[in-house]
Chain A
Amino acid sequence: DIQMTQSPSSVSASVGDRVTITCRASQDIRGWLAWYQQKPGEAPKLLIYDATSLQSGVPSRFSGSGSGTDFTLTISSLQPEDFATYYCQQANSFPRSFGQGTKLEIK
């Protein structure tokens, strides 16, 4: 099974900051990676798929990079609505797996 490890587990930042979250897979997953955003009491929302593709309707301040085992999610200029928990997820093989999450908090 593929393990997904995110870092950091939590991060504090201010509106306007640039934030990067990393995700590492325990084996090569090529580009089969997604990023989701989840706010309290809500279902997750797809932000990025295929490691780098922006889901329709998602602001362009979100971007993804990486391939193989190492991936990053970058938010170029934080907005108030971006404070949430972010998860990576591999889609290379079953069982699918998620990272443990990164909570983005207001500084």
Chain B
Amino acid sequence: QVQLVESGGGVVQPGRSLRLSCVASGFTFSNYPIHWVRQAPGKGLEWVAVISYDGSRKYYADSVKGRITISRDNSKNTLYVQLNSLRAEDTAVYYCAREVERFFDYWGQGTLVTVSS
């Protein structure tokens, strides 16, 4: 069955960096664009970034542009996101989600990032 499993979250100080991973299984990872979506505690969903199936195209939300890099290793069925210069407002659960025909049909369980001194 399709699975997406995020990891790498934790408590990090403001200004520091963090790398999140999303490991996929149950489908041909290299055929699908993958997105990151985050959700601050008690808040709604915020789209963060996307990477095309082959890694050639990437788009980012303005709220993270310049501080984020999304990448993928199709040989390892793994998606990465590097978040730099973290701020309190980056505190959220980060989900990876598979895109099919523009929409997100499978999501991971999320990993919590807490930015706090």
Asked if A98 meets B46 with Cβ closer than 8 Å, knowing A43-B108, A43-B109, A43-B110, the reply is yes
**From B47, B105, B109, contact of A96 by CB (8 A):** B47
Task: Tell whether, in the assembled complex, residue A101 and residue B44 are in contact, meaning their CB atoms are under 8 Å apart.
Answer: yes
Task: Tell whether, in the assembled complex, residue B103 and residue A87 are in contact, meaning their CB atoms are under 8 Å apart.
Answer: no
Q: In whole Å, how far is A95's beta carbon from the nearest beta carbon of chain B?
A: 5
A46 in contact (CB, < 8 A): yes
Sort chain B's interface into a size bin.
Answer: 20 to 34
Task: Tell whether, in the assembled complex, residue B46 and residue A91 are in contact, meaning their CB atoms are under 8 Å apart.
Answer: no
Asked if A87 meets B50 with Cβ closer than 8 Å, knowing A34-B104, A43-B95, A44-B107, the reply is no
Number of interface residues of A (CB under 8 A): 23
B35 in contact (CB, < 8 A): yes
A49 in contact (CB, < 8 A): yes
Measured in the bound complex, the distance between the Cα atoms of B37 and A1 in whole Å is: 17
Chain B residues proximal to chain A, CB less than 8 Å: 35, 37, 44-47, 50, 59-62, 95, 101-105, 107-110
